[in-house]
């Protein structure tokens, strides 16, 4: 009887461990909604653009959002601004040099100041940001929204969960060697970034 009770307790503990395992969310978006928006102030008109070449994986445990880690990659060739000549300059050697540096990488190593209310978690994602081959430690305020069993609403053939990540932060372009020679009164040094992405964890 004692052995049976121990076995039962062990199996309950193991099933708990299985359900509490972090889910792997893939951020390659088939709908093309995922995007990173960038904005730089300039005298005549702010330079606004976006990139939709987002990919990466985030490990998220709904029972323990604080343990979230992951890596988000933005393809620099997908960066777009409405003016064709400006886009050519943006992707060229002085600015993003997309031929040499095809990816912007954010790697979240840990979450700090975690606050969870229902399905929404806000935190500071501490990690590293790599732009133009320069890697710097950053802390990015993020908002995670866990949408359980909502994947089928987006992709009818698949069942699973969704994880929405929103982040607003700023970087200094000189820190990453993004055209440091460009006068700051013509194009601001501060680049405002907004990340709006959703990842999917299909049921296996």
Q: Which residues bind another protein (CB under 8 A)?
A: 31-35, 37, 44-45, 48, 50, 52, 80, 82-84, 86, 145, 147, 150, 153-154, 162, 164, 166, 196-198
Query: Least distance to another protein from the beta carbon of 77, Å?
Result: 15
Residue 200 tokens read as 């999917």
Q: Count the neighbouring beta carbons within 10 Å of the beta carbon of residue 76.
A: 22
Query: Least distance to another protein from the beta carbon of 76, Å?
Result: 17
Q: Which is nearer to another protein, 87 or 132 (CB)?
A: 87
Between CA 65 and CA 62 the distance in angstroms is 6
Q: Which is nearer to another protein, 139 or 179 (CB)?
A: 179
Listed in order, strand segments (DSSP E) in 18-119 are 23-26, 35-40, 47-51, 54-60, 69-75, 79-80, 103-117
Q: Which is nearer to another protein, 132 or 166 (CB)?
A: 166
Query: Least distance to another protein from the beta carbon of 26, Å?
Result: 14
Residue 80 tokens read as 């777009």
Query: Least distance to another protein from the beta carbon of 21, Å?
Result: 23
Between CA 175 and CA 131 the distance in angstroms is 9
Q: How far is CA 184 from CA 79, 83, 94, in A?
A: 21, 20, 15
Q: Which is nearer to another protein, 84 or 126 (CB)?
A: 84
Query: Least distance to another protein from the beta carbon of 162, Å?
Result: 6
Query: Least distance to another protein from the beta carbon of 153, Å?
Result: 5
Residue 102 tokens read as 């095809």
Residue 5 tokens read as 């009770």
Residue 65 tokens read as 């959002």
Q: Which is nearer to another protein, 83 or 135 (CB)?
A: 83
Residue 97 tokens read as 């040099």
Q: Which is nearer to another protein, 55 or 130 (CB)?
A: 55
Q: Count the neighbouring beta carbons within 10 Å of the beta carbon of residue 52.
A: 16
């Amino acid at each position: 009887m004692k052995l049976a009770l121990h076995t039962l307790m062990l199996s309950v503990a193991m099933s708990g461990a299985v359900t509490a395992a972090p889910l792997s969310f893939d951020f390659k978006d088939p709908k093309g909604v995922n995007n990173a928006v960038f904005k730089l102030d300039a005298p005549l008109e702010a330079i606004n653009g976006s990139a939709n070449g987002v990919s990466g994986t985030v490990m998220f445990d709904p029972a323990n959002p604080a343990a979230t880690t992951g890596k988000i990659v933005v393809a620099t060739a997908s960066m777009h601004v409405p003016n064709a000549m400006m886009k050519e300059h943006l992707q060229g050697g002085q600015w993003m040099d997309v031929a040499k540096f095809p990816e912007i990488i954010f790697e979240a190593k840990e979450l700090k100041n975690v606050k969870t209310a229902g399905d929404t978690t806000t935190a500071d994602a501490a990690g590293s940001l790599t732009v133009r081959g320069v890697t710097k430690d950053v802390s990015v305020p993020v908002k995670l929204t866990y949408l359980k069993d909502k994947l089928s609403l987006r992709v009818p053939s698949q069942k699973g969960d969704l994880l929405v990540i929103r982040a607003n932060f700023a970087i200094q372009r000189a820190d990453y060697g993004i055209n440091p020679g460009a006068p700051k009164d013509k194009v601001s040094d501060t680049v405002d970034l907004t990340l709006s992405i959703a990842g999917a964890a299909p049921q296996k």
